[in-house]
A = this chain, B = another copy of it.
Amino acid sequence: MSAANFADRLLEACAAKGGPVCVGLDPRWEDLPERIRKGHGEDAEGRAASFLEFHRAVLDVVAPIVPVVKPNVAFFEALGAAGFRCYLETVASAREKGLLVIGDVKRGDLGSTAEAYAQAHYDGAGCDALTLSPYLGLDSLEPFLLRCREKGCGAFVLVKTSNPGSADLQDLEVGNLRVFEEVAILLRGWAAGPGLVGTRGWSSLGAVVGATHPKEVAALRGMLPGVPFLVPGYGAQGGTARDCVVAFDSRGEGAIVNSSRGILFGWRKGPLAERHGEARWERAVEEAALEMREALRASLPKGS
């Protein structure tokens, strides 16, 4: 893990790769290419081996195109210990190929338990950044912030998530604001804390804001200067490049947009399936990543 500030590393990687694209690694065994599935058993060990083979091939294809990948640990945990090992190997493989890794773990616990999660996913797995839940408050984030300050790690706190149910709690009204806006105000204070802000004014502590809520994302961008956004919900969940523009500042900086299924499994139907099909699925993954990068580039202000 570099000791350089995470936000600096993120900006640099986005510039180097020519676009703020994150590829979500949400493996589904049923959706893998048949050739890969047939090469391993159908038990947990075999499925985990298939996941790893698939991810390594995906990483080879996307490493020259995108700066960041985001494995969601839930799909790995579902395969038990073999899946957890596959998660660790996937993170290691991505880092070897020069990619930044956001571990999508959405953890949130207190005291020594939060410390154990930080050990597991920063120190152990080697993730550059993690997604975290805000429900338990600032003291639950401290072990993660310690690594942001001392080891160049990053964290993205859930603020406004992309699912419809996000309204249940996040949209409750607290005076003139909603709960997610109150979380944003707390986050603004935490993100400005000592040792977190990089040379270009961005914090290592960011926010997760869903592309499916462009109005809310625009308001949050105004409220949270210097707080980088991780924006899920692009593609399969319905968010477009235009929806995502509001997550960036006027220079086209400050956000990273994630697509998972649209890039990993776009070859299973529609135009990409017609052009490439399963036989050339790697080319379809490449084309989907390139298309997303170009769509974001075309929508963002120049200079990005």
Residues of A within 8 A of B (CB): 26, 28, 72, 74-75, 77-85, 88, 106-114, 116-117, 119-121, 124-125, 133-140, 158, 161-170, 172-175, 179, 182-183, 186
Closest chain B CB from A189 CB (angstroms): 10
Knowing A78-B116, A80-B120, A80-B124 are in contact, say whether A170-B137 is a contact too (CB < 8 A).
yes
Contact pick for A140, options B78, B83, B163, CB 8 Å: B163
Which residues of B have CB within 8 Å of A84?
Answer: 77, 80-81, 84
Known A-B contacts: A80-B124, A138-B165. Give 6 more (CB < 8 A): A110-B162, A133-B135, A135-B135, A136-B161, A136-B166, A137-B166
Q: Whole-angstrom distance between the alpha carbons of A175 and B114 in the complex?
A: 31
A108 B106 Cβ-Cβ under 8 A: yes
Contact of A139 among B75, B164, B170 (CB under 8 A): B164
Most buried by B among A124, A166, A169: A169
Closest Cβ of chain B: how far from A207's Cβ, in Å?
Answer: 13
Taking a contact as CB atoms closer than 8 A, the residue among B119, B163, B168 that contacts A111 in the complex is: B163
A120-B77 contact in complex given A108-B106, A135-B135, A163-B140, C-beta closer than 8 Å: yes
How many copies of the polypeptide does the oligomer hold?
2
Q: Which residues of B contact A124 (CB under 8 A)?
A: 77-80
B residues near A136, Cβ cutoff 8 Å:
158, 161, 163, 165-166, 169
Task: Specify which chain B residues have a CB less than 8 angstroms from the CB of A83 in the assembled complex.
Answer: 120
| Contact B158 A135, beta carbon cutoff 8 Å | yes
Please name 29 pairs of A and B residues whose Cβ atoms are closer than 8 Å in the assembled complex, sorted by A: A72-B116, A74-B107, A74-B109, A74-B114, A77-B116, A77-B120, A77-B124, A78-B116, A80-B85, A80-B88, A106-B108, A106-B133, A108-B133, A110-B161, A133-B135, A134-B168, A134-B169, A135-B170, A136-B169, A137-B164, A137-B165, A137-B166, A137-B167, A137-B170, A139-B165, A140-B163, A168-B186, A173-B174, A173-B175
Q: Which residues of B contact A183 (CB under 8 A)?
A: 169
Q: Is the CB of B163 within 8 A of A182?
A: no
Shortest CB–CB separation between residue A219 and chain B, in angstroms? 18
A172 to B116, CA, bound (A): 28
A80 / chain B contacts, CB cutoff of 8 Å? 84-85, 88, 120, 124-125
CA distance in complex: A88, B84 (Å): 12
